[in-house]
Structure 1
Amino acid sequence: MAPEEKLDPIPDNFILQPPAFHPVVPYVTTIFGGLHAGKMVVLQGAVPRDARRFQVDFQCSCSLDPRPDIAVHFNPRFHTTRPHVICNTLHGGYWQMETRWPGLALQRGASFLLLFLFGNEEVKVSVNGQHFLHYRYRLPLSRVDTLGIFGDISVQAVGFLNISPFAEGSREYPTGHPFLLQSPELELPCSRTLPQGLWPGQVIIVRGLVLQEPKTFTLSLRDEAAHTQVMLRACFMDRTLAWVSPWGRKTLISAPFLFHPQRFFEVLLLCQEGELKLALNGQGLGATSLSQQSLERLRELQVRGNIQLYCIHC
């Protein structure tokens, strides 16, 4: 990309960021685009056997002095007679009235997966796929732009996601979406088998980072004979996104070209009866028709291109 070339303006809800793997605690990072309803933060890690407490703070800036406001303070405590979680808000240097949640779903010496799902008025928190608590905001969610993790915790990965774009109007926990974040060391081309083909309701997820001087990115679905039945192709030369048929016919997708050098992306494909729905960075972009028979015959997903691949799931 030439230095004088300007990128297309991208709305905040398109701005995602790469996951962080094995960050050192205390860990503080900017939340690209801030928080908004429908955004999720995933924390994968483990609680040390001698842990006393840790906290996950969604902060309004990252300043050290004065201390920033904290819109959501999630604080598991293990050293008390009855382990519990404290949720609170720090405003103007003063803690508000705390909310206590007994029956702590986290345990010393055990791994966990925390999911924070931000709604219009409250955040919902699940532990290992089960709803644990909800906490109403006392400060505007729009002020939050920083994540802080402190205390006795071993963090394997932190991810920033959008809610499923295929669940219209839904604000519940997404189902069927794997939030376990994989190692970023996935070599290309990368393939995954589809032992039973594709069936209605199945979701394919690909997350990665575009390299500095990219040319193409392709996601191909192939049958048992290794013939490509459908391909999603991003071309960086003419900045187009298209479905490519087995005969090479291209059907352009009318949408902003969201693949940019050194930017994170997320591709979602939802299989439904006779079609594949596409979403990029949390935004639905229509579908391509494919007979149900053809969908069931698909046996391989293959990803190629000038990207660093973080996660592929089907």
Structure 2
Amino acid sequence: MAQNIPYLGPINGGLREGTSIYIQGTIPKHITRFFINLICGESESSDIALHFNPRFDGWDKVVFNTCQNGSWGSEDKIHKMPFRKGEHFEMVIIVTLQGYEIKVNGIDFHTFQHRIPMEQVRGLQIAGDVSIQTINFIGPGGYPGGDMGISQFVFKPVPYSNNIPGGMFPKRTIVIRGMVPYGADRLSINFLVSRSRDIAFHMNPRLREGIVVRNSMIGGNWGQEEREMSMNPFMEGQQLCVSAFKSFLSVPQMSIRCGNQRFKVFVNGQHLFDFFHRWQSFNEIDMLEIEGDVQISYIHF
């Protein structure tokens, strides 16, 4: 859903190390400047812990700063522009102990060192020449109470294949978000044992059929399918993403959590289904593959 600009909203629970803020939007063709502020309150007069201010003024640059008690600090000026006029963008702000790591379209841009403690941040403010479609806050590990995770910002079409750093272990959560085109048929998310290519957990949303099939393939043989589920968040046409990708649908944020007996799958925080381990040494599961009709925005380990 598109956000009205100017935008001013709370960050429930505040910030801590490992929190990520995912922002998806579009830069208009006739842009002058816009800004994104992390503020120490919920009003426009609050102190600003992070001021992120792209300026298209003939000497394109991005200005970083803070503001305390109405007084601006010294500017950090980055004389390069990660945004393009008239184009869609995806941006992530990652909170670390040192500062705010900024990624734009999957590329590291700049780290702004903390001048105000992250614990004081309570809100997000966006204003200026920009259109915002998505604002999403991801806690450490992508799951309430989870450990700090690792994010891979992919921004490329599948097939996607990569190692899972450290493999799977109890309470580990992987968060996946992406885009599904209209007319999509199916996609698959596989958790594999790389040494044998066995698929310990195969999840296969079949969009036109309105089902999500779960299975495993061990020793070259598929096991028994599981299909029962009370809801299907992947059904075609569920939510229109009003952006430069107008022909795409938004995939709900999916969290896949490993337990001692099963995988637990959540969509937008709601429990979807469990899949009991068929590969008993689940710590050997060390690869994630995604195929089919989907484009991945980010993967958070």
* Common fold: TM-score over 0.5: yes
Q: Summarize the alignment of residues 22-61 of structure 1 with structure 2, pairs less than 5 Å apart.
A: 22-61=2-41
Cα distance, 1:276 vs structure 2: 5.7
Secondary structure of 1:38's aligned partner: coil
Structure 1, residues 228-254: CA drift from partner, whole Å, max 9, x if none?
4487999xxxxxxxxxxxxxxxxxxxx
Deviation at 1:267, TM superposition (A): 5.1
**What SS does the aligned partner of 1:142 have?**
helix
Aligned residues of 2:141 and 2:149 also touching (Cα < 8 A): no
The verdict on how the C-alpha distance between 1:156 and 1:138 changes in structure 2, with shifts beyond 3 A counting, is same
User: Which of 97, 100, 107 is equivalent to 2:84?
Assistant: 107
Structure 1 residue 119 corresponds to structure 2 residue 96: yes
Question: How do 1:131-150 and structure 2 match up within 5 A?
Answer: 131-150=108-127
Structure 1's 106 and 196: CA in aligned 2 closer, same or farther, altered over 3 A?
A: closer
Residue of structure 2 aligned with 1:174, choices 134, 141, 152: 152
- Contact in 2 for aligned 1:220/1:228 (Cα 8 Å): no
Q: 1:33 to 1:198 in 2, by over 3 A?
A: same
Cα separation, partners in 2 of 1:267 and 1:111, compared to 1, 3 Å = closer
Equivalent-residue separation in structure 1 for 2:150 and 2:52 (angstroms): 20
Distance 1:138 1:287 in 2: 45
State TM-score, norm by structure 1.
0.56
CA spacing shift, 1:34–1:192, aligned 2, 3 Å: farther
- Answer yes or no: is 1:222 the counterpart of 2:214: yes
Equivalent position of 2:192 in the other structure? 199
Measured after TM superposition, the shift of residue 178 of structure 1 is: 4.9
Root-mean-square deviation (Å): 4.3
Per-residue deviation, 1:107: 1.2
Instruction: Give the Cα separation in 1 of the matches to 2:68 and 2:180.
Output: 36
Question: Counterpart in 2 of 1:269?
Answer: 256
In the superposition, relative to structure 1, how do residues 279 and 85 fare at CA in structure 2: closer, same or farther (>3 Å)? farther
Deviation at 1:169, TM superposition (A): 7.1
Answer whether contact 1:44 1:113 (CA < 8 A) is retained. Answer: yes
Q: Give, in whole Å, the separation in 2 of the partners of 1:203 and 1:136.
A: 41
Q: For the structure 1 residues 130 and 72, does the alpha-carbon distance in structure 2 shift closer, same or farther, using more than 3 Å as the test?
A: same
Query: How many residue pairs align between the two structures?
Result: 217
Structure 2: gaps of 5 or more residues:
155-174, 195-200, 206-210, 217-221, 232-251, 286-296
Deviation at 1:270, TM superposition (A): 6.0
Q: Which of these residues, 37, 47, 55, is aligned with residue 69 of structure 1?
A: 47
Q: Structure 1 residues 277, 195: CA separation in 2 closer, same or farther (over 3 Å shift)?
A: closer
Note the alpha carbon deviations across 1:159-215, whole angstroms, 9 max, x for none: 11124469x9766533566544789xxxxxxx98445854359998x9xxxxxxxxx
Q: Distance in 1 between matches of 2:101 and 2:225?
A: 41
**Inter-partner Cα distance in structure 2 for 1:132 and 1:162:** 21
Q: Distance in 2 between matches of 1:120 and 1:287?
A: 36
Give 3-state SS (helix, strand or coil) of 2:119's partner. helix
Structure-2-length-normalised TM-score:
0.58
Q: State how far apart, in whole Å, the 2-side matches of 1:93 and 1:196 are.
A: 49
Corresponding position of 1:291: 279
Matched, 1:94 2:71: yes
Name the % identity: 23
Q: Which runs of 5+ in 1 are unaligned?
A: 1-20, 184-190, 207-218, 235-264, 296-310
For the residue of structure 1 that corresponds to 2:192, the secondary structure is: coil
Partner of 1:259: none
Shift of 1:277: 4.7
Following superposition, the deviation at residue 113 of structure 1 comes to 0.2
C-alpha separation between the residues in 1 aligned to 2:15 and 2:189? 38
Which amino acid letter does the alignment assign opposite residue 6 of structure 2? P
Distance 1:221 1:46, change over 3 A: same
